[in-house]
Amino acid sequence: MQTIRIKVYLLAMLLLGASFGARATLTIEITQGVDSALPIAVVPFETKGLSSPLPVDLAEIVASDLNRSGVLKAMDRASMPGMPHYSNQVNYDHWRNAAQDYLVVGRVLEESPGIYRLEFQLLDVLKRRQLLGRSMPAKKRDLRSRAHQISDFIYEQITGTRGAFDTRIAYVRAQKNAARKYVLQVADSDGFNPQNVLESDQPIMSPSWSPDGNYLAYVSFENTFPEIFIQHLATARRSKIAAFKGINGAPSWSPDGKFLALVLSKDGSPDIYTLNTSTKRLKRLTTHRSIDTEPVWARDGRSIIFTSDRSGTPQLYQIGADGGKPRRLTFEGNYNSAPSLSPDGRYVAMVHALRGEYKIAQLELETGNLTILTDSSLDESPSYSPNGKMVLYASTEGNNGVLYAVSIDGRAKNKLSDQAGDIREPVWGPFESR
């Protein structure tokens, strides 16, 4: 009998921050930029007079966030015509000549040791006026999160869309040559601050965020069979919620947080069920002898989109949350699976096979238009950002899984890479996941 070792972690929020910087952090590389991105200069924040240097470079975090969006293009620091920290120090002509549309200036004030106040201003270079100014308190450990919030303010002011930089992602990391080979991790949306949720020497799969961002549901093989657990991130308290004979898979939280959709094969073939998480009542939605799997909820909670090969190949279907007759959604191609629904409910991202290559595609539900978003060949696990502007997914390079985020127009792409592991099954948490 082999020994199974697992370890459950609580996300020690108090220990968060710079100390995690040395751990296998994801690094981000923009692999595909957008010509039409709006130029913005994020000047390094003033930090003079601080009792010790800041552990992070706030302007660098903001610039990198904005770059990743594909909507904005941050100016290279070395080319900046000046280093103003207050709006009244700005010579607008210089920035206009440097072809910048927007300018961000800011400073860090130390109120007491380790307690800061961050101030920043977003300026419109052409109109020579302030668009936004904010001041916020920050402790040393949440400087990174505060920088992402600044990015969110700027992004929303310029685009009118809520920013999703100050959110988290979850994913599974497979470690070669490690005692516990599989690790479920949660990190910031830019891949920093990775923290372990669960480590096991048996596979971990299919993480799913609760809508309040406090829990993850996942599949663990720690008892040599797949079982579904729910884990409270802050306390590491977890409960096993499905351990039926056969498959227990693909958990997905309903928008109100009261139900999980899941896949069980206890009655024969894999079928979609819903589970009331408080009463534990199970309801079977599909009965076909095909593989029915990968359920996700519509935003109104009234229907579920899932993968089924009832037609002979995997395709996406929609069924009422109380059951009924499923309606087929995809007709292009012979492999469409792993749906993710955009937050506005207009689009479904999926794994789509095209001439033997597996790509991420997006279906517009109203028109039936299918757009291919990626150009690699082993892409999987698409997941929308909570503002619906990016799709996070996993791809394969060499022998490692790597994470990418692509804009929903397919034009901007970032790689979240990591030398230390094989990363898969990313899921972008809700706005509340912070």
Partner 1 sequence: MNTLTLIKPWMIAAVLAVFVSSCATTQEEVIEDGAPAGDQTQMEGGSSGADSSGGVSASGVEGGTEGGTSAIAGGEMSAAEMLQQPDGPLSNRTIYFEFDSAALTDESIAILEKHGSFIAANGEVSVRLEGHADERGSREYNIGLGDRRAQSVRRVLLFQGAATDQIDTVSYGEEQPVDPGHNEAAWSRNRRVELIYTVN
Residues in touch with partner 1 (CB under 8 A): 1, 203, 205-206, 221, 224-226, 246-247, 249-250, 263, 265, 269-270, 291-294, 307, 309, 312-314, 334-335, 337-338, 351, 353, 358, 378, 380-381, 396, 399, 424-425
Residue closer to partner 1 (CB basis): 210 or 340: 340
Query: In the bound complex, what is the minimum distance in angstroms from residue 312's beta carbon to partner 1?
Result: 5
Q: How far apart are CA 188 and CA 429, in angstroms?
A: 10
Residue closer to partner 1 (CB basis): 335 or 431: 335
Angle at 216 between CA 213 and CA 222, to 5 degrees: 165
Residue closer to partner 1 (CB basis): 167 or 395: 395
- Look up residue 50 and give its two tokens: 């601080």
Residue closer to partner 1 (CB basis): 102 or 171: 171
Query: In the bound complex, what is the minimum distance in angstroms from residue 293's beta carbon to partner 1?
Result: 5
Q: Could you tell me the CA-to-CA distances from 253 to 17, 215, 220, 277, 399 in Å, in that order?
A: 29, 10, 17, 10, 32
Q: In what order do the strands lie in the sheet with 38-42?
A: 72-74, 38-42, 102-112, 115-124, 129-139
Between strands 38-42 and 102-112, the pairing is parallel
Instruction: Please tell me the number of Cα atoms within 13 Å of 405 on its side-chain side.
Output: 27
Q: How far apart are CA 247 and CA 264, in angstroms?
A: 5
Residue closer to partner 1 (CB basis): 123 or 316: 316
Query: In the bound complex, what is the minimum distance in angstroms from residue 236's beta carbon to partner 1?
Result: 24
Q: How far apart are CA 383 and CA 396, in angstroms?
A: 16
Q: Is 84 helix (H, G, I), strand (E, B) or coil?
A: coil
Query: In the bound complex, what is the minimum distance in angstroms from residue 82's beta carbon to partner 1?
Result: 50
Query: In the bound complex, what is the minimum distance in angstroms from residue 336's beta carbon to partner 1?
Result: 10
Residue closer to partner 1 (CB basis): 164 or 349: 349
Contact 67, 73 (CB under 8 A): yes
Query: In the bound complex, what is the minimum distance in angstroms from residue 78's beta carbon to partner 1?
Result: 40
Query: In the bound complex, what is the minimum distance in angstroms from residue 307's beta carbon to partner 1?
Result: 6
Between strands 38-42 and 72-74, the pairing is parallel
Q: How far apart are CA 381 and CA 350, in angstroms?
A: 8
Strand partners, 122: 104, 132
Q: Is 3 helix (H, G, I), strand (E, B) or coil?
A: coil
Q: How far apart are CA 111 and CA 424, in angstroms?
A: 42
Residue closer to partner 1 (CB basis): 166 or 425: 425
Q: How far apart are CA 328 and CA 311, in angstroms?
A: 9
Query: In the bound complex, what is the minimum distance in angstroms from residue 334's beta carbon to partner 1?
Result: 7
Contact 134, 120 (CB under 8 A): yes
